[in-house]
Structure 1
Amino acid sequence: MISVFRVVFAPFSLLFISATLLIGGAALWAGMAYVIFAATALDAVWQVRDEGDAESEPDILMPTAILSVVLAAAFAAFIPSATTVELIAGTLIAGAVFGTIANIVAHELIHQEDRPVRFFLGMVLEALSLDPADTVGHDLHHSLVATPADPSSARKGEGFWHFLFRSVPGAAVGSFRLEAKRLGGTGWSLQNRVLQAVIVQLAVLALFYLTAGWRGLLAFICAGALARIIVEATKYSSHYGLVRVPGSDIEMRHSWNAKGGVSSRALFNAGWHSDHHVNDDRPYRQIQLPENAPINPHSAGLTFACALVPPLWFSVMDPLVEKWMLEFASADERAIAAAAG
């Protein structure tokens, strides 16, 4: 049963949310309830911890990506006739889905650089969360993860809002520099994938303006900003407080993982982050949750809510970081953490 569930959950969610936007009115509140409670409720009653999806299961990445574009189109079509209250609700719904399902799919697609159509579609979906630089930024993050040089790895004692304003510009600048290095020092070139993604971002903004005017553009920017906050909160929580010696091997202990909730399984195993970093070319269906990986025992929803309130976050996560230092960290990693304070 769970095999069928994880194949249909993301596509069904996108279709359902698209329908609530197109219908409008009271249907929006059903969409809002679904976005807030569906995955959290499922995690509360249905826990799994087993190997990744079997290779024989259908690859739903492209269908889900296309349905993410359909959702964006439904949002654009919804905007012109929406009342102010409806527009606020619809923007929150769209932003939440842009920052979760659409962004997870985007991340999988931009890892497939040898498949141009998939890579381009990944850029389009990254634009929904106002994150064009991640087209290259994921390479930067994968090479620097859990080190002080990584703008997308949060340090112990660093609040989310401080991290947000460090991560966003840091990842953008680092991504541009990485591309310039790849191109032999010539960053201002159309071969630069960051610039290509920025062009895609501008095109998406233009499409919302052409479809729904300034109201549509503003609504999309608000939805994209919410999506970006969700994406950055995910980055924040995925490596918070963890330490790696620069240049050393990336190991399973350098990422926090979801405790095995069904929502992670149904969303391309995104919560099983350690295996993704250690084996970054592994298809999502093969991602596993190793026994020796650090676990964040809290649901994705609770983790996100706590991240927005730094004192609450520190009270929840700092004890887990201290436990990680005792059970997982090497002597050199403990020394780095001690020097950082």
Structure 2
Amino acid sequence: MRWLNHTYCALDAHGQTIEYRDGKRWAWAWSVINPLFCWIGIGLYMLTDLEVLLWYPLLQGYVIFPLLDWWIGEDTNNPPEAVVPQLEQDRYYRWLTYWVVPVHYLAFIGAAWWLATHEVSVWGYLAVSMSVGLAAGLGINTGHELGHKTRSLDRWLAKCVLAVPFYGHFWIEHNRGHHRHVSTPEDVASSRMGESIYRFALREMPGALVRGWQLEAQRLAKQGRAPWSIHNEILHSYAISIVLQGGILVWLGWQMLPFLLIHNVLAWWQLTSANYIEHYGLLRAKRDNGRYEPCAPHHSWNSNHKLTNQILFHLQRHSDHHANMARAYQSLRDFPDLPRLPNGYYGMFLVAYFPQLWFKVMDPRLLSLGHIQGDLSKVNIDPASRAALLQRYGSAPVGS
């Protein structure tokens, strides 16, 4: 089939013809069906009548996927720059991000219906709700990819998919806030050395909401418009959320309210988990004029682990994404000497949920980076942990 085996041809800088075939082309489809993995537990339960199997999707995400990432290994291949324009114009990759949007709705609505029409224990109810919440967290990732595009259709689909977990402010805050302030003390979505994921969540979740609304209000004010109007792009997504989740309650009853709450909170927690590990402790230097240096690849933690990159639209090549945010997922690059995570995102999420283990794994890795070399003044440090980190790692001057 041509769409699976397309070859790109171009001239390199020396005038030589090069050919490139994306060896992962077919595998990107895993990102489309990934939201349906939450249904595996339901399927296993229906086949065996063993309620414990409803927990399988969480086992898969937090145990099986990290083990597979470790076993399968990493992929450091980059597409030749000469073919990148063709690669980014190939509609196949764009259509994958379109197709996954209705899949998120199918997974969410279908699971809500199943839960409302089947008798399960409280633990079974919790397992399904959490599994679907994990899938909705992937929806925020889909919204992330679509929200970075300039096409009107892409941006509307971003609003639609972010409506599933009721997180419509994300792409506004992410594009205009996080990308501007990333890896600085001013960024609510960049974690600091010595800051646990739980304290980070208390700062990041409300901070992102507030900053998203502030940024949208500022945009509308420049146009002479009120924030509470049909022109507010956050409200577009929120309106879809109200119709979607309100419709679930009207259709299936108020017993679905705990499902919706668990689903939404766990989806938000997935995003917080990703934000926590993506920039932990990394700091952009402040220049004499008071401005921070431009974001570079070494200001984000990178992961080349094959499996989770294929099911997350290459989100884990985060270093190139922040240095070149308009670059499409299929052409994101690896670079030498990047800050590297020892596992894919799901494995690192699990480590982060145990703060002392996270600090033991990541603090030495952070301080050993080539551009830091143990200098705490080059690290984004949690103010509450400053004294303890100074005592443990040395008395070098510490930056903010």
Same fold by TM-score greater than 0.5: yes
Q: Please name the residue that 1:58 is paired with.
A: 92
> Which of residues 312, 319, 324 is equivalent to 2:364?
319
How far the C-alpha of 1:265 sits from its partner, in A, is 3.3
Q: Please name the residue that 2:13 is paired with.
A: none
Could you tell me the percent identity over the aligned residues? 24
What are the residue-to-residue correspondences of 1:13-28 with 2, within 5 Å?
Answer: 13-18=34-39, 21=42, 25=46, 26=48, 28=54
Query: How much is the aligned-residue C-alpha RMSD, in angstroms?
Result: 2.8
> Which of residues 194, 216, 227 is equivalent to 1:179?
216
What are the residue-to-residue correspondences of 1:228-247 with 2, within 5 Å?
Answer: 228-244=268-284, 245=286, 246-247=291-292
Q: Secondary structure at the match of 2:283?
A: coil
What are the residue-to-residue correspondences of 1:29-40 with 2, within 5 Å?
Answer: 31-40=57-66
- Which structure's CA Rg is the greater one? 2
Q: CA offsets per residue over residues 117-152 of structure 1, 9 Å max, x none? A: 332222232233342211311121001101111110
- My pick for the range that moved more, 82-91 or 171-180, is 82-91
How far the C-alpha of 1:37 sits from its partner, in A, is 4.4
How far the C-alpha of 1:31 sits from its partner, in A, is 4.3
AA aligned opposite 1:114 = R
Q: Please name the residue that 2:317 is paired with.
A: 272
> Which of residues 222, 245, 251 is equivalent to 1:205?
245
Q: Please name the residue that 2:230 is paired with.
A: 190
Is the CA contact (8 Å cut-off) linking 1:238 and 1:257 kept in structure 2?
yes
**Relative to 1, partners in 2 of residues 1:103 and 1:329: Cα closer, same or farther, differing over 3 Å?**
farther
Q: TM-score, normalised by structure 2?
A: 0.76
Is the CA contact (8 Å cut-off) linking 2:301 and 2:341 kept in structure 1?
yes
**Relative to 1, partners in 2 of residues 1:205 and 1:273: Cα closer, same or farther, differing over 3 Å?**
same
- My pick for the range that moved more, 196-205 or 103-112, is 196-205
**Relative to 1, partners in 2 of residues 1:198 and 1:14: Cα closer, same or farther, differing over 3 Å?**
closer
Is the CA contact (8 Å cut-off) linking 1:24 and 1:86 kept in structure 2?
no
**Relative to 1, partners in 2 of residues 1:178 and 1:205: Cα closer, same or farther, differing over 3 Å?**
same
How far the C-alpha of 1:277 sits from its partner, in A, is 0.8
Distance 2:141 2:276 in 1: 15
Q: TM-score, normalised by structure 1?
A: 0.88
- Higher normalized helix content (fraction of residues): 1
**Structure 2: stretches of 5+ with no match in the other structure:** 1-21, 382-396
Q: Please name the residue that 1:44 is paired with.
A: 70
**Structure 1: stretches of 5+ with no match in the other structure:** none
Q: Please name the residue that 1:11 is paired with.
A: 32
Is the CA contact (8 Å cut-off) linking 1:251 and 1:274 kept in structure 2?
yes
- My pick for the range that moved more, 302-311 or 193-202, is 193-202
Is the CA contact (8 Å cut-off) linking 2:35 and 2:107 kept in structure 1?
yes
Distance 1:299 1:335 in 2: 23
What are the residue-to-residue correspondences of 1:94-109 with 2, within 5 Å?
Answer: 94-100=132-138, 102-109=139-146
AA aligned opposite 2:231 = Q
Q: Please name the residue that 2:17 is paired with.
A: none
Q: Please name the residue that 1:309 is paired with.
A: 354
Q: CA offsets per residue over residues 37-86 of structure 1, 9 Å max, x none? A: 45324312212221269555831111122211111121121121231243
Q: Please name the residue that 1:121 is paired with.
A: 157
Is the CA contact (8 Å cut-off) linking 2:351 and 2:358 kept in structure 1?
yes
Is the CA contact (8 Å cut-off) linking 1:76 and 1:211 kept in structure 2?
no
